[in-house]
Chain A
């Protein structure tokens, strides 16, 4: 991303001059106050929105996107929801069902493959949504505050699960969040964005090891990282 800029009709400046390089296979957390333009940035990376200035170059072609809520099709079972991306791309039924079963297994929903979204809990729906993103075997996974609507316990367990999935697959992950602890827990690198229009106020490596367990949340190193992110967030949050 080079000097990226996005201004909406009506003069609202969502993203102002963001330059960022994300190497393949990196787990990046994008942290910023609500409404700062993080989602806009992510949508531009996905190609769902276009910058009004600057350029994006993406070497990865298979991009998957996970939204804030699960956004499953209520008239389809988990299995058919997860296989949807392959169906839209014209993959044969046998192939897409095999891939879908595998993805469902990976997120631990194997017993619920034939249930409808209305029969699942919020956390299960989110896992189904994650499986739908994984089914295309993406080399880039974009997540827009995916666990924000979930309760703390479900959220932390999904954090661990997501980290483990990344360790297995090593795709590039860009994880947008407004939760400091989530960013510190999940990512190997975090950038902190200012209030709208979004600018990068901090870009930091997070060295907390490869595998992350919930016990990490109590360690002094974790607390130090969280404090660092918090102070950057507070500094960037005040209008300059």
Chain B
């Protein structure tokens, strides 16, 4: 914990020093103390925005987790299903969300649905891809073992392939946690709600300190979501040791 704290404090002090000396104008880069002041003066507004962004991110992420894992299981069932649908899963990933966000607003209206959809589209792919990788990497000897004892495909999935894929699933979920927040913010740029909307408005009003305050909160939100997923992963694999260290 200490080394990153030292880096953080150094960077903050350096930014404060540089802007105070006037090397960079404070309407371009606000001083850390200005950001702190902005958080204090608009705390109510920021917290409300944080709440709506947080809720949308959480819903978007949960949707991604459930839909992504189910999709991966369907895709990993092999055969033509996988061949037919996998390209579209890749297609999802390459969709430029900034360009499609206005469309989402047309489809879902200017409310939370559009934001959640944006969050979901951005974060679902890593869940699918990583779960799929995990489901495909089942130890061949253990598959033989399950075949030898005539296990059905459902019990092979539940007792072998899915738990075996856990480390990969959580890798996907960790990536998705950060992306879900990014997707939410992008959606909010268009709908004008939450932290994304706040960033957009503050930017137009040249309130750079408020932009930074909102940015800081959205990063903290991403980190918090990431930490929750991480803790869940640790809990799920607490007895594995070796794979948890990966």
Contacts and interface: CB of A to CB of B under 8 A. Distances in A.
Interface string B204-228: 0000000000000000000000000
Contact of B150 (A43, A68, A89): A89
A118 B245 CA distance: 12
A43 B148 CA distance: 10
A172 B191 CA distance: 72
Interface in A83-106: 84-85, 87-89
Given A88-B155, A89-B150, A74 B141 contact: no
Given A71-B139, A71-B142, A73-B142, A65 B148 contact: yes
A75 B237 contact: yes
Given A67-B141, A75-B163, A88 B146 contact: yes
Interface of B: 139, 141-142, 144-151, 155, 159-160, 163-164, 166, 237, 239-243
Contact of B149 (A67, A74, A85, A118): A85
Given A48-B148, A88-B150, A71 B237 contact: no
Nearest to A49: B144
Contacts of B146: 88
Contacts, number: 58
A87 B147 CA distance: 13
Q: Give 8 nearest A-B pairs by CB, closest first.
A: A118-B241, A116-B239, A88-B149, A88-B151, A71-B141, A67-B141, A74-B240, A85-B149
Nearest to A65: B148
Interface in A19-69: 43, 46-48, 63-65, 67-69
Interface string A115-130: 0101100000000000
Interface residues of A, number: 23
A58 to B, nearest CB: 13
Which of A46, A67, A74, A116 has the most B CB atoms < 10 Å from its CB? A74
Given A118-B239, A118-B240, A118-B241, A73 B149 contact: no
Interface in A200-215: none
B243 to A, nearest CB: 7
Nearest to B243: A74
A136 B149 CA distance: 10
Which of A43, A47, A88 has the most B CB atoms < 10 Å from its CB? A88
14 contacts: A65-B145, A65-B148, A67-B141, A68-B141, A71-B141, A71-B142, A71-B145, A73-B159, A73-B160, A73-B164, A74-B242, A75-B166, A84-B149, A116-B240
A89 B240 CA distance: 26
A98 B141 CA distance: 26
Contacts of A69: 141
Nearest to B241: A118
Contacts of B166: 75
Interface string A137-181: 000000000000000000000000000000000000000000000
B152 to A, nearest CB: 8
Contacts of B141: 67-69, 71
